[in-house]
Every structure is written in C-alpha cells, then in structure tokens.
Structure 1
C-alpha cells in the first residue's frame, strides 16, 4: 500500500527533492509545504485525514499527533529529514540520504516483548531528616511511605506525631531487586515506640532487619545504591530543591501496573558458561554493569528486573546464547540493508554510517545542524538505544551491506572499553582498519569537522556486490567476512550418509 510522504521545507530552510525520495518503492510525495505546522495546518489536517501518511518532521511530531487525535485520524508516522540531512553544508547533495532515511522509516515498527510490573506504592525514602521527612509528607497521600533515618540523626530529629507515614532508624546495608520488588537489609534497625508521653522513642537496635518495597527515593546525596541505575530507584541531591521536587513528583506517579521491555533472549543450549561444574565462559557476567546476569547451573540467568538494556552481554557472547531483543539482531541488519539499498537506488555511491545512542547522539546532531555545518551528505545517522548492542557482527554487517565506513559516536557514559574491543575485532576480521572509527567528542562543531575530514580517499571503497546478510550474529559475521575478503560463499555442508 502506497504511503504519502508529507514534505515541508521548514520556512524555506531546506530543499527536499520529492523525485529523489520517490525512488523508494510504494511512496508518493506531496508538494513541498513551507509552514505545515502553522499557516498550513489545515492542509496538514486534510492530508492526515486520508490515512497512511508520514510527515517529514521530527520537531513538531507532537503537534501533528494531537492534530490526528482531534480529527479522529490514525496517528501518522514521522521521519526527521531536517536535522539529519536538510540542514547541512552539503544539503544540495543530500537527496540519496533523505531517500535512505525515508526507506528506513517505512519499515514495520518494532514489537518488543514486555514484562508486566506492579507497584502498590510501598516507598522507602532515604536521606537527611529535614529533606526526607518533607518529601514523605508530600507523598503520604499518594504512597505508603517509610522514611529511613541515620540512627544518630533520628535521635535529634523533629519527628511527626501522626501516622501519615512510618519512620525508622538504621543503616541500609544491602539493596537488591527492582521496581515493584526491591529487597533491603537494615542493620541497627530501630522502630518508633507507639505509646508514651513526651518525645518519641525508638526500640533497641537490631541487625539484619529485612523488608520489601516497590520503589526507593534516595535523597541521601551519597554513593548511589546501584551504580548504573535501576527502574524504580530515584535519586536527587538534597542540596538542590528543584531536583528533590522533580524526584518526588516522579515517585508519586509510580503506583499501578507498568510495562518494561524484555531486553534479552537466551538460548541455554548454546551457553558455554560451564560444564560439569567447570567454568568455561563468564564474558556476559563480566560485561554486565548492573549485575543482572548470574550463574544458573551450567548456564546463566538474566534478571529482567535488574537488566537496564545496555546490550553488552549480546556483543561479547561468543556462542550466540544471549541476544538483545529491543531491537533484535535481525531488525538491525534489515535497517542496515534498507538504508544502503535506498541510498544506492537514489544515486548515492559510498555511504558512511554514523552509529549513535538515543540520548546524546540526537542532541549533538541537532545542534550541529541548527548552528553549524551539520552532517556531510554521505553520512547516514543510525540510532540504537545503547551503543554496546552494536558490536563487531553489526559493524561487519554494515560494511557488507555496502557502507564505506562505520563511525561510532561515543556518549559520555558509553562503555568505551567494551565498544573499543568490539571495534578492534571488527577491524581485524574485515581487514579494513580505516573503515571503523570511534568518535569521542562532546562539541557539535567538532563532530561535524571530524566527519567532513574523514572521507574518501582515506576510506576503502565499499563492496562492489553488497550482500544482505541474514542469520545469527555468528553466521552474519562469517558471511560478511568472506564477502569483505572477496571469498565465495561457503558451500552447503555435504549430506552425511547414515548406515542402513
């Protein structure tokens, strides 16, 4: 079914070419509008009302989604052409890139399995008495709150007389689990004595107190309980009232049923963790920053409550026993193949892939486009939720699909050691060391300068006969390596004659 692409030049600031973009199959472009989100909003409404449309605008997606809801039309899809292609020193040559970005946006949306999480609103608040008690008072009407105070501070604190929330004293020694199922251990635990006249008193301390809660609001300002974050774990600096207020408001809404993506899939039969109680491989355990992966007999187990979806396990697993599912490897290779094919189909010859995360990357690209040189016409941005899911197999698949180079834009929090090791492996396997680079800059202008400087003839020529690699990560890496070294496809294995 043909999709209608609604074009706009954003007040004449870019020049999308409908003819180039219509080289993408099953696509019809409208005329180029100039103020679709404002003066021509009626025209947008008429087009959206017909259904099966895509709007070439990312900035005002919320405006058009609300418009569709108001007129009872299906919500349109969106593709950002302006920041990624139209605002550039090479905008006049960016037609093939625009076509590639549109082709990618036309792919079916990813469906990710979800884990159902339930929160009854049991909230544990940590922090100095004044800040923690004030936050508890604000949340008492929404959550079942318990405040944990330091024993020394609790003895001097002005404690409430009512029962709107609970107050205990002690030292938190252990916290595990995730949203809806945290488990905590408290030493020197003291409970408030219910009766008596005068200042409120605590029971004698005891170690090893255990409890459960659905979420933790940490206002201590000290070392975080979980180094790499955790769903349901909120932190704010007690010296910064606006941050405390934001965290408190966020906590108030964390009651009820929620969904969390199931980031990984495992194939225990392929796992090489151990055999006969002898450990053979711990790569995924070593790579997991959150501690979500633990031994489980001869295999490993991923705790979905703890997993934050970094994808490092997927990148380092040598057997394919653990894979990333949001997106899965097949989705990534389809996107790569679609981008490369559409770019060539629109007249492009040697595209480069700019891999970036979903937070830092779009911000850098947007600032470079608005205030600087933007991206070169041959650089196609490729967003992934976490850079560590784009390992050596994905890099090889990109080169085999016809990209001349793969450039990875590191974010401030990126796992540089893991990503660097995967890039080194891809360079070794491909024999194209110059084709894979890591960009570690935090200034949009430096990003543009780096990309404009790193281009042909420094890069090797892309494959004359690109391949669309399919299969597991190991299979794709093998196929890509053979293609990149000019080797013929491996013949299928000969049948084995079974005894009669």
Structure 2
C-alpha cells in the first residue's frame, strides 16, 4: 500500500496499478462502503443543503430518557474526630439514615471495621471516594495495605448512597464534588445545612440526562498525532472517559455544567434540559420585552444560579437604562454563539459573570469565548467592550461596582443600533455563530468579511500549496465533516469553509506537507457555506489514446515512487505509467511481460 493516486475520467473511479493500492483508491472504497451502509450516494447527499438541515432538525428532536436513582440512605461519614463523627452518625440514624463512620487509624494499624452501637466504624488512612449519588465507593489504606470497601464487608453491598465529609480537604477523587457528596469541613453552619438536607435524599429520584453525543462528529481517537481531548480535560467531575478510540459519558456523574459542549470544536456534544434553542428563545423574548420599554438596547447580564440576583444588582452600576438580568442553570452553557446571537437580538452589550468557585479550566474557556467574540467585533469595527467577562468574588463585602459599557462608545466608534436578526435558533452552534456574525457584518458597513482569528479557534480555511500537492486526496479522506472533498470532472479538491473545524487531521494525513490551516471567520454565511476550489489542475491525458485519467503531478509522483520497482524496471514499463488502464493492459500483453 502506498499514497499514490490513479484515477480515470471523472476522477471518481480508480484503476489498479497492477496490484498497487493508492490512498485515493482507499478513499474511494471507503466512500463506497459508506454509500452501501447508508443506502444512498454520499456525494449527492453532501451537495443537498436541505438534507443537512433535516439531519440537524432530527438531531435536535432526539431526547434521552431521564435517570432513575434509588437511595436507601446508606451514608458514609468521614471525619478526623471519631467522637464528633459518632454524634453526627447517631443524629442521622435517628432521622432514618444507615450510617457508617470512617476515621483515621492509629499508626501502623491494620485496615479494619468494627461496630460502635448501631454504627459500623471503618478505621483507615488515605481514604479515596469515587462515584456519584446512589453509588459512592471507598478505598482506604492502613499499614501500607490498600483495599476497597467490599473487601471489608464481605458479601454485603460495598457502596454508599451519600457521603458527609468533615475533613478540611475532601477525599473525593474528582475536581468538583458531585450531588450527594457534602463537604462542610468544620463549619458548623454548613454542617447544620447538610444534616437538614441529607435525610431528604433518601428515596427514589429522577433527573434528566444532560448530554447528547454525536459520535460521527467527534474528533477524538481519529489521529494519534492530532488527537482531540478537550472535553476530557475540562470535565470537573471526570464524567467523560476514553477507551482510546471513542469517548463515553457517565450520566450519573454528569451534572450538566456544559463545559464539554463549550470547548467541543466539532459540535459533537449538545446539551439537554434545557437545550441551546430553549435558552436562546427565552433570552430573545426577554430582550424583546425590554426593548419595548427602553429607548435604547438594554445591557444584558448573564449569570448562573450560584450568584444571587440581589447581589448583582448592588454590584453593577449601569450608565443608562436598566440592564436585563438573565439567569441560566450553568454559566458554562453560554458560548460564542449565544453572545453573538444576543447582540443580534436586541442586547446593547453582553456581560458574562462567572462565579469564583468555578473550576479554572471552565472559567478560562468562558474567557476565551468572550475574547474570540471581541476579536470578531473588532474585525467588524464595533467597540470590543460590547462583550465583557467578569469573575464574581463572593467574599467581597463592599465591592467596587462593575461599570457597564458606555453607550456612547467612548473607547471606540459609536455603538450601532443593530436591527434584530430573523434566523431560527435550532441550528448547531457553528451555524448560529456564522449566522450571527453574518448579520453583524451586514449592518456594520465593514468591507472585509474575513476576520483573522487566534490559532486555537475552531473556524477557518485550509490553504493548499500548489507546488507540493499531488492531489492524492488523502486530506479529503481524513476530513470528518467533509469540509475538504474530491468532486467534479477534473482533478479537484473543494472546501466548504463553514464545516472546517481547524482540527489539523488533513495536515497530518498529507504526505507532501502541502496543507496549512488559516484560522478565520468568514462573515459572509452564503460564501462560507458554499464549496470553493482549494486545488485544481488540468488532467493528464493518456499518451496512447488521449483519454484523461490523472494529473501531471500524480504521474510524476508515481514515477518517483515506483522508480526501482521490479515491475517497472524497463523504460517501456515506466512509460506504461503514463497510459490509461486499457492502453496499459494492452501494452503489457503485447510486450509479453505481463505477470
């Protein structure tokens, strides 16, 4: 197998080079398998935008069933002080919970379990807890011996429904505590709150599943050199795992923060309960109501349920008009597409407020979304302070007020009154971003629709070096969203820029190092969503019959690769490479060297 190309006529069928399998042939055969498995023609389906819209609508209609969790009230109490833990355990036992204590051992003691009154007591060090509400497991050690809890309980159930951790540093393995894990430390107020809430968490519970994964879009596991791990790295609960080829979600651990969908460049992860469409529809309705009451577009304040509305109102001093406060369940559900869509649906400015308690990877990802939005606004000659990102520090007693952007645009050109857009919110986030940017471009008066973006942006184009490219089509075969594709009646690669995620898989696959990425946002949506020729050459004609069957670059490449091959050792055999399949076969039979 090599990376050569051997195509004929319309460059969608391929000839055999006497047993040599080319990269283009592999690509062609893969497409044939896709056509057979789908029952249709892949190339034709890609050319019909209406079918893609139907696919998006179908995906939006997919729902996942809710989770059912049974909690029998088995509660693990982890504490440094056995007397304090016993008092709390007895109190919770009176309220109907079945409690087990976990306390430190004496030095060099063995890991053991005993019983004090109605309570089981585990003595061990290096306690580690994993799992989620209704299924927490514990590992502990003593005297250098590490054991899981089932080894102590024999045949009894070795997991807990709830955990009350009284240590200064919680024993949970993840970066963020899940539902059902209470870690008040030694704070008496927080302990009292936990003691009041724990008995209520016994019984049968249902809650929604928050994530919907489209494996066909996912970039993970497609390349060892250019593997995408963004969702795995940002998840604060380790609810996402990988087997090396594909990712999987633990729906019981996932709390729906939305960080995975926020950083996914391929829009392979979509959030449910609520969906993005539901958030944007509610947001647009609020802005529409506010615009009726105000003379100018209101400033929009986005925050989540962890920040009190009253606190925000005392911290934000508006410079005119009344801001619109919009609460979401998780602030990390707000990405670039929501920020730009808000500006195109009546918001004069958008301020994103992130609580200080958010994990650093999530707050950093949110800030990158805002910075990316500012880059787009700057490219369209809008004031960049129409988008702001603020980390709310709850411990401030007398904070300085957050000043909203000046409506006169003192640091840039006067802010335009943007007429509302009319595009629906049911699209994926990439399409929403492009539609919103296209609307902003149309009303901005800017002449340049292409805006350069940072290197890590998931939008852009692909540039192919004409001097190096041999049109082997390996890039088209490696592109998951088929932003690059081979089509037409000539040696040609076309690019649909709106589909390009800048994942770099095409660069990895290219044997000629002829591809480079060009991160940018093309604000002309019609142009971004239409195929453009990225590389095209005149066909090479058979030297015997004149039939076009390859490109000159590919002929040169084949001659170079097969130089010295035993099947192409003579001048006549080398000349045969410049013939079409029919003429090549006839010449080999005539020469008598056909094997």
For normalisation by structure 2, the TM-score amounts to: 0.55
* 1:435 matched residue in structure 2: 386
The unaligned stretches of length 5 or more in structure 1 are 1-110, 190-204, 495-500
Q: Which residue of 2 aligns with 1:230?
A: 178
Pick which of 463-472 and 123-132 moved more: 463-472
Equivalence map 1:240-251=2 (5 Å): 240-251=187-198
Kindly indicate whether residue 503 of structure 2 is the aligned counterpart of residue 467 of structure 1: no
Report the equivalent of 2:330.
386
Cα offset, 1:429, TM superposition = 2.8
Q: Deviations over 1:368-404 (max 9, x none)?
A: 6xxx967952421111122211111111111222322
Q: CA RMSD in A?
A: 3.2
Gap change, CA 1:378 and 1:241, over 3 Å in 2: closer
Per the alignment, residue 164 of structure 1 pairs with 118
Deviation at 1:343, TM superposition (A): 3.4
Q: Is the 8 A contact 2:303 2:331 kept in 1?
A: yes
Shift of the 285–373 alpha-carbon distance from structure 1 to 2, 3 Å rule, reads closer
SS in structure 1 of the partner of residue 106 of structure 2: helix
CA contact (8 A) 1:178 1:305 kept: yes
> How far off is 1:227 after superposition?
3.5
Question: Could you say which residue in structure 2 is the equivalent of 1:135?
Answer: 88
Cα shift at 1:358 = 1.5
* Inter-CA distance 288–449: structure 2 relative to 1 (3 Å threshold): closer
What does residue 419 of structure 1 align with?
366
What is the alpha-carbon distance in structure 1 between the residues aligned to residue 243 and residue 406 of structure 2?
Answer: 46
Partners of 2:107 and 2:190 in 1: CA distance: 23
TM-superposed CA distance for 1:317, in Å, is: 0.7
State the shift of 1:278 in Å: 6.1
* Distance 1:291-1:149 versus aligned 2 partners, 3 A rule: same
Distance 1:274 1:235, change over 3 A: same
User: Are 2:157 and 1:209 equivalent residues in the alignment?
Assistant: no
User: Aligned to 1:360, which of 299, 302, 307?
Assistant: 307
Q: 1:342 to 1:242 in 2, by over 3 A?
A: closer
Q: Specify the alignment match of 2:433 in structure 1.
A: 477
Please report how far the alpha carbon of residue 311 of structure 1 lies from its aligned counterpart in structure 2 after TM superposition: 1.4
CA drift at 1:480:
0.9
CA distance in 1 between counterparts of 2:201 and 2:524 reads 56
Alignment TM-score, normalising by the size of structure 1: 0.65
Matching residue of 2:98: 144
Q: Deviations over 1:395-444 (max 9, x none)?
A: 11112223221111232224431211111111223434221112345569
Q: How does 1:39-58 map to 2 (within 5 A)?
A: none
Q: Give the total of aligned pairs.
A: 361
Secondary structure in 1 aligned to 2:134?
Answer: coil
Q: Helix, strand or coil for the counterpart of 1:125?
A: strand
Task: Please say if 1:264 is aligned against 2:264.
Answer: no
8 A Cα contact 2:114 2:122, kept in partner: no
Q: Judge conservation of contact 1:119–1:257 (CA < 8 Å) in 2.
A: yes
Report the CA distance shift for 1:440/1:119 in structure 2 as closer, same or farther (over 3 A): closer
Conserved 8 A contact 2:170-2:183: no
Contact 1:333 1:469 in 2 (8 A): no
1:314/1:323 contact within 8 Å kept: yes
Structure 1 stretches (4+) deviating beyond 6 angstroms? Answer: 372-375
**After the TM superposition, which residues 247-396 of structure 1 pair with which residues of structure 2 at under 5 Å, given as runs?**
247-275=194-222, 280-346=227-293, 348-367=295-314, 376-396=320-340
Match of 1:121 in 2: 73
Q: After alignment, is 289-298 or 342-351 more displaced?
A: 342-351
| Contact kept? 2:407, 2:415, Cα under 8 Å | no
Q: Does 1:490 align with 2:526?
A: yes
Moved more, 212-221 or 260-269: 260-269
Write the distance in 2 (CA, Å) between the matches of 1:221 and 1:177: 20
Distance 1:275 1:373 in 2: 49
Match of 1:176 in 2: 130
Q: State the 1:308 CA deviation.
A: 2.5
The change in CA–CA distance for 1:344 and 1:367 in structure 2 (over 3 A counts) is closer
Corresponding residue to 1:455 among 401, 407, 411:
407
1:75 matched residue in structure 2 = none
CA contact (8 A) 1:123 1:213 kept: yes
Whether the 8 Å contact between 1:172 and 1:184 is mirrored in structure 2 is: no
Q: Is the 8 A contact 2:317 2:403 kept in 1?
A: no
Structure 1 contact 276–298 (Cα < 8 Å) conserved:
no
Q: Secondary structure at the match of 2:195?
A: helix
Question: Aligned partners of 1:176 and 1:366: how far apart in 2?
Answer: 39
Once residues 460 and 308 of structure 1 are traced to their aligned partners in structure 2, the CA distance between those partners, rounded to angstroms, is 39
CA shift in 2, pair 1:362/1:404, >3 Å: same
Higher-Rg structure is 2
- Following superposition, the deviation at residue 161 of structure 1 comes to 7.0
Contact 1:277 1:298 in 2 (8 A): no
- CA shift for structure 1 position 299: 2.6
Deviation at 1:209, TM superposition (A): 3.0
Secondary structure of 2:201's match? Answer: coil
- On the 8 A contact 2:354/2:390 being kept in 1, the answer is yes
State the match for 2:39 in structure 1.
none
Structure 2 portions without partners, runs of 5+: 1-62, 150-157, 443-522, 532-595
